[in-house]
A and B are shown apart, each in its own frame.
Chain A
Amino acid sequence: MDDVRLRPPRNRVERRAIAWWTTQSSIFALPLPIVFAVLYLFIPPARTWFGWCLAATLVPGLAYMAIMPAWRYRVHRWETTDEAVYAASGWLWQRWRVVPLARVQTVDILRGPIQQMFGLSGVTVTTASSAGAVKIKGLDQRVATDVVEHLTKYAQAAPGDAT
């Protein structure tokens, strides 16, 4: 049998997405070490104990912040054709999704507050299957608008009730 594999989608997401993911991960990774750092500074008798806690939470947190965004940037890609939308996402656990435009029900643009800070947008393409939604995150706002326009044009052209 031929060696068949999925080729990565053609387009990368914006490079700014790395900064966005780093900011986002810091919100999860940093609060706990900060609390331990404050306790470490203000409660001298328990310093050793809080010191260990600080190290145990700060090191994995920083590692996550350093590795995850760059890794994601390498994986996250997207592509639209006249028949389908194709996107790759994840880092440790990676996922490739393909949805034919004939089955698309809605196309949404989503802009979280942090995403807005970096001028980024996410596009969500939903189908009648809750497991079939394709999410492309970290697009430039103008690109996102173009993608939505392209997708809605071809989705409307397809007949049937998309189930």
Chain B
Amino acid sequence: MTQQTAVDRTVATEPADSWQRLNARLILVHLSVLAAPVASCAGTLLVSGGTLNLQALITLGSLAITALVITGIGLMRFLTTRYRITGEKIELRSGLLFRSHRSVRLDRIRGVDLTANPVHRLFGLTSVRIGTGDQTSASSRRLSLDGVSRAQGTELRQRLLSRRDTVRGHVADEHDATIADLDWSWIRYAPLTIWGVGGVLLGVGTVYRTLHEMRIDPLELGFVKDIEHRYGSVPLWFGILVTVLILVALGMIGSTATFTEGWYGYRLEREDPGTLRVRRGLLVTRSVTIEERRLRGVELSETMLLRWAGGARLNAVASGLGDRDENRKRRMLTPPVPRAEALRVAADVLGETESPTTVTRLRPHPRVALRRRVNRGLTVTALITAVPAVLGALLWTPLLYVAAACAVLLLPVTATLARDAYRTLGHALHGRYLVTRYGTFSHRTVALQREAIIGWSVSRSFFQRRAGLLTLGAATAAGDHCYKVRDVAVPDGLTLAEEAVPGLLAPFLERQPAPRRGHRRR
């Protein structure tokens, strides 16, 4: 497609700069919030057999008022929000008491995300979030249109991005290239993301709290009593074992469900020109756009269980993905996938023939770093053992056996972890990238473009100074804003920094040609 026709198309589809509202079906979405108090009221009446005591009334009443307020705010926002796209900018007006009028220049737009939660999807709506490059104030960093029809959202996204490129002088190119698609065999990695267990406990806790608020004691319910009774009749170890097994099983089901919800329909593709797009989600559909020129590297994350199964996840290290929390949600480029697949995707998105996170070429760190990790393990062991030991000495002697068992069990575990953490440490310069790897439970390998480094932060604790080590932090505007090379020998770290960004550190370095300290451990 030539530039001329691209301009024609955008002009043709533009309804003459008029102000537009959000979709009217949004009213239904906001009214549906009121279903929550109605349903919980009916539910309580059902459970309690038709009578409501004061506590339940207060709980339900506050729930109803909250729902009304939320609906009111939503309706007000719907009634007052207007937006339009003019020649060079998008404008958004909203608010009744606090009126705001914001405009963003189209060439400042970094990405347009479409997100739809289940209620939105029921009514065929979606939210459009427009990310801009403004780093200075947190609140004005992005515009969001909460509730346009799906077709309108897609069209808006197309229009904003193509207009942006026209303004910038790019030529649109209709070829979409898929980089990765969901492979259902990856679901085998889903149970290995342990968050499921936490989720189960959280769910049980929430149910218990809710029932408790309504003056229903879950411990008095029939089937709970029954389970309690059975637990009384079996040995303690058996009870604990069964509980752990049930929790693990539920956790695995939970993480598999989370995986399915989050990654259904996953597709990572390269769109015109120079943008990456991740689409995923079953109930909540998410679409994240990352400009390739804002992509400053990748992070390969291997949590312990996933690592043992040969899996890994890939995250983008990109600027303009929002604050810390938003960055965490939006940086994911792949679900848990086989390691080789993650590396392939990494190489593809970065436009390299081989992923810079390939580990074979990383340089190891001095042995002193291992000693630091072993010492940390010993400290943790000592602290955990101290609790039953002190209690045993003061109150109840059998606890001393617990303390001994703790020490015997924890020492080999922490020693293994320390060794593993030490072997994980590594750094390298690989072409355009600075590569660093670290981590105990979760191994992280980060490849960061050298030109994205906008400052160095060298830190040394008291113990690091004694051991001749330093932690080199590369400050950047992308991702976590600081990526560290931990516990590297002082000359190695400083040389690395100087080679990664030539000239920046050089005026502040001193070289002493004679190796004064012959006993430096390596």
> A residues engaging B (CB < 8 A)?
1-7, 9, 79, 81, 83-84, 86, 90, 92-100, 103, 105, 127-132, 134, 161-163
Distance A148 CA – B300 CA, assembled complex (angstroms)? 40
Binding site secondary structure of chain B: mixed
Residue B250 CB within 8 A of the other chain: no
Asked if A86 contacts B508 (CB within 8 A), the reply is yes
Asked if A163 contacts B319 (CB within 8 A), the reply is yes
* Closest beta carbon of chain A to B448's beta carbon, Å: 11
* Closest beta carbon of chain A to B500's beta carbon, Å: 12
| Interface segment, one of B96-104, B190-198, B263-271, B451-459 | B451-459
Asked if A96 contacts B458 (CB within 8 A), the reply is yes
Asked if A94 contacts B460 (CB within 8 A), the reply is yes
Contact residues in B for A103 (Cβ distance below 8 Å): 454-455
With A5-B490, A98-B508 as contacts: A129 and B462 at CB distance below 8 Å: no
Contact residues in B for A79 (Cβ distance below 8 Å): 508
Q: Quick one: which of B465-522 are within 8 Å of A by CB? A: 465, 473, 475-477, 480-482, 490-492, 494-495, 503-505, 507-517
Residue B233 CB within 8 A of the other chain: no
* A-B residue pair count with CB separations less than 8 angstroms: 124
Residue B461 CB within 8 A of the other chain: yes
Distance A131 CA – B458 CA, assembled complex (angstroms)? 12
Residue B135 CB within 8 A of the other chain: yes
Asked if B508 contacts A128 (CB within 8 A), the reply is no
> B residues engaging A (CB < 8 A)?
133, 135-136, 319, 452, 454-462, 465, 473, 475-477, 480-482, 490-492, 494-495, 503-505, 507-517
27 example contacts (A-B, Cβ-Cβ < 8 A) are as follows: A4-B490, A4-B491, A4-B511, A4-B512, A5-B494, A5-B509, A6-B505, A6-B509, A79-B508, A81-B507, A83-B504, A84-B507, A92-B461, A93-B461, A93-B462, A94-B460, A96-B458, A97-B457, A97-B458, A98-B455, A98-B456, A127-B475, A128-B135, A129-B455, A130-B481, A163-B135, A163-B454
Contact residues in B for A3 (Cβ distance below 8 Å): 491, 511-517
Contact residues in B for A95 (Cβ distance below 8 Å): 457-460
* Closest beta carbon of chain A to B136's beta carbon, Å: 8
Asked if A131 contacts B459 (CB within 8 A), the reply is no
- Out of A6, A161, A163, which one reaches B458, CB within 8 Å? A6
Asked if A129 contacts B509 (CB within 8 A), the reply is no
Distance A94 CA – B465 CA, assembled complex (angstroms)? 9
Asked if B504 contacts A131 (CB within 8 A), the reply is no
Asked if A131 contacts B509 (CB within 8 A), the reply is no
Distance A2 CA – B462 CA, assembled complex (angstroms)? 24
Asked if A100 contacts B491 (CB within 8 A), the reply is no
Contact residues in A for B455 (Cβ distance below 8 Å): 97-100, 103, 127, 129, 132, 134
Q: Which of B455, B476, B494 has the most CB of A within 10 A?
A: B455
Asked if B454 contacts A98 (CB within 8 A), the reply is no
Contact residues in A for B513 (Cβ distance below 8 Å): 2-3
